[in-house]
Structure formats: C-alpha cells, structure tokens
Amino acid sequence: MKIFLDTADVKQIEKWKDTGLIDGVTTNPTHLSKAKGNPRKTVLEICKLLPKGEISVEVTEKKPDAVYKQAKAIAKLSKNILVKIPCHRDYYPIIAKLAKERVKMNITLVFTLIQGLMMCKLGVDYISPFVGRWDDIDVDGVDVLYQLRHMIDEYGFETGLLAASIRGVRHFNEAIMAGSDVVTVPISVLEKSTDHLLTDQGIEKFDADWKKLGIRTFP
C-alpha cells in the first residue's frame, strides 16, 4: 500500500521524505494556493524532492479543450507527474483521449461507484474517492471505498484506488481495511496516526528503569 502526502507544503514533504515511507504527493488548487509563491515552482520542487514518487497536479482550466491542453502541459513538467482531472461527464472524452496518449492521470472528486466504474473503463491510473466530503453531508464516506475495491477486483480493472479527503485516523484505518492501493494523508492526520501516548510512556519508563543501572556506555 502506498502512502501519499496530501499537501503542497515543501518543508513538510522534505521532513517526511526522510522517513522512507512516502510514495508520492497529491496537490490541488487549494494546497497550492495555501503554499503561496509560484505554483509551477512549488510543483517542480516537489517533483525534485521525490524523484521516484508519484506527484499529482490538478488542472485549473474549465473548458474541456483548455483542460486537455493544460493536462498535456502539466504532464510535460516532470516524468513523475500524474495529472489530476475532476470526474465530470464533460471531461470524459478528453480523459479517454489522454488515456490513449498514455498521459498518467489521477481522477479526482470521485463520489460514487458508477463514477469510479466509468473512469476504470477509460483506463486511468488512479481514481480518488473523497471520503471526508461525503461525511460533510452526513453520509458515511468509507462505504464507497469498499464498493470501489469490490468493483475493481470483480471486473479486473487495473486502475488504482486512491483514498482521498482523509480527515482523521478513522478514515486512515478504513482506507487500509478497504484495501485501497494508496491513501493520501494530510500532515496533521499522519502525525495523529503515528503518535501514541502508550509508545511515549513506554519509552519514558524504559529510560527511567535503565538509568537505575547507572551504566554509561552500552553495549
């Protein structure tokens, strides 16, 4: 299972990259706007930081022809880029065209099983169901992860399931249990998910007990 960082914060990416656990990054217009600065520069910096990682960069144009052109330009920025395109019916023809041209794509804003199936049929690399945004409207967002996993396996599609809009530790756990190929996690959730009070207390207790021995060097 791959773990992506859901951020465009270069400093955080730099910090987490050293853990050896990060397989990629998902950016979006919101993240790039929060990061400030020139988005092209930020994207290139992220691509350079994780040369073997998969970096998702979203289109910002609206009209299909412009989205197509922008997708090609984004893909050209770096070999490790996947172009993020919203899962909207207006874009189906250009997604089909880009897939034929082997442009790597991560289809974003997927909410239903049927939307996911359509994208798998077009042969995209990843579909990103947004778990947290379902929860925002009082629907349990994790259900769609299980449905999409079943559909991908049942029909033998090669599209990867990328769990997105992960808002907390429960979502992260569910993304794992649902068999997602990738989970993209905001830094705050990653910190909460990897910290544990009992781990911290355990370290302190071992340290206190060890100090009782009065030994300076070991082994």
| Least gap, CB of 29 to ligand G3P (angstroms) | 10
Please report whether residue 159 would count as binding ligand G3P according to CB under 6 A: no
Beta bridge partners of 164: 130
* 6 binds ligand G3P, rule: CB under 6 A: yes
How far apart, in Å, are the Cα atoms of 128 and each of 3, 5, 139, 187? 13, 14, 17, 18
Q: What residue number has its CB nearest to ligand G3P?
A: 165
- Contact pick of 132, 146, 151, 168 for ligand G3P (by CB under 6 A): 132
The pattern of x and - marking residues 33 through 62 that bind ligand G3P according to CB under 6 A reads ------------------------------
Q: Which two tokens stand for residue 107?
A: 């289809």
Q: How far apart are CA 193 and CA 206, in angstroms?
A: 23
Q: Which stretch binds ligand G3P (CB under 6 A): 11-19, 110-118, 159-167, 195-203?
A: 159-167
What residues contact 217, with CB distance under 8 A and at least 6 apart? none
* The only residue of 3, 5, 28, 134 in contact with ligand G3P, by rule CB under 6 A: 28
Residue pair 125/134 in contact (Cβ under 8 Å)? The answer is: no
DSSP string, 71-121: HHHHHHH-TTEEEEEE--GGGHHHHHHHHHTT--EEEEEE-SHHHHHHHHH
Q: Does 168 bind ligand G3P (CB under 6 A)?
A: no
- Work out how close the CB of 110 gets to ligand G3P at its nearest, in angstroms, rounded to a whole number: 11
**Interface with ligand G3P: number of residues (CB under 6 A):** 10
In the bound complex, what is the minimum distance in angstroms from residue 134's beta carbon to ligand G3P? 10
Nearest to 53 by CA among 109, 2, 120: 2
Residue 80 or 96 with smaller CB distance to ligand G3P:
80
Report, in this order, helix, strand and coil percent for the chain, each rounded to 5.
50, 20, 30
By CB under 6 A, name the one of 50, 164, 178, 189 that touches ligand G3P: 164
Active site residues: 84
